[in-house]
Structure 1
Amino acid sequence: MKLRTDLILRRLGREYIIVEPGQDMVDMSKVFTFNDTAVLIWERLQGREFTLETVVGVLLENYDVKEDIARRDAFALLQTFKEHGLLTE
């Protein structure tokens, strides 16, 4: 899977949001805000193919977390990305 290449991560004050270029009017019901961990993962995955294991690896490399917790959190994040159309297959 890959992240959609048309989406742009932008910093807005202390927050990070995903912007969909080409929208004439911003649909605020479709704005996604990211925490620092999601930003790190998004930046590491941008422009490359990845799997659940890739995301687990990013978490394990950057946080003091047990593998089972990293796997659960990575799965939940990818599910959220899928549900909101942020991924391509």
Structure 2
Amino acid sequence: MKLRKELKLRQIGKDYIIVEPGQDKVDLSKVYTLNETAAWLWQQLHPQEFSKEDMVEKLLEEYEVSEEQASKDVQKLLDVFIAQNLLDKNYK
């Protein structure tokens, strides 16, 4: 799978948001927020192709967390990416 390449991660204070650049007007319905860990993972993955296993591996390398917990967290994040249409539809 792959994150949509046109999306941009921005940090505003302690908050991380994903925006769709090129909008003529600011459309807050198309701004997505991430926590610090999810934003870090986004930066690690964007814009290359990756798998769920790649995501889990990156979390295990960076954070002191069990593989089981990393896998659960990754699945929750992937569910958000899918629900918010943040993945490139050309990749599965």
TM range (shorter): over 0.9
Match of 2:62 in 1: 62
Is 1:34 the counterpart of 2:34 in the alignment? yes
Percent identity of the aligned residues? 51
Match of 1:18 in 2: 18
TM-score with structure 2 setting the length: 0.91
TM-score with structure 1 setting the length: 0.93
> What do the CA deviations read for 1:7-60 (whole angstroms, capped 9, x no partner)?
011111221111101111112122111111011100100121100001101111
SS state of the match for residue 87, structure 1?
coil
In 2: Cα distance, 1:19 partner to 1:44 partner: 17
Amino acid at match of 1:4: R
Q: 4+ residue runs of structure 1 moved beyond 3 angstroms?
A: none
In 2: Cα distance, 1:16 partner to 1:73 partner: 18
1:69 Cα deviation (Å)?
0.8
Aligned residue pairs, count: 89
Kindly report the root-mean-square deviation, in angstroms, between the aligned alpha carbons of the 2 structures.
0.9
5+ residue gaps, structure 2, are: none
5+ residue gaps, structure 1, are: none
